[in-house]
Amino acid sequence: MLRAVARQRGAGGDADHLFRTWHPRTRPDDVRPDPGTRWTGLRILAAEADTVEFVASWEGGAMHEVSRFEQRAGRWVYVDGEVDGEVDGEVDSDVSR
Q: What is the pLDDT of residues 27-50, one digit of tens each?
A: 999 998 888 888 888 899 999 999
Torsion sign across C-alpha atoms 58, 81, 79, 8: positive
At 65, which CATH number?
A: 3.10.450.50
pLDDT of residue 51: 95
Residue 10 to residues 47, 67, 72, 93: CA-CA distances in angstroms?
14, 12, 19, 11
Task: Look at residue 9 and tell me whether its pLDDT is greater than 70.
Answer: no
pTM of the model: 0.77
Angle 25-30-32 from CA coordinates, rounded to 5°: 120
The pairing of beta strand 61-72 with beta strand 39-48: unpaired
- Of 61, 58, 66, the closest CA to residue 82 belongs to 66
Q: How confident is the model at residue 10 (pLDDT cuts 50, 70, 90)?
A: low
The reply to whether 96 falls in a domain is: no
Q: Domain of 68?
A: 2-28+38-87
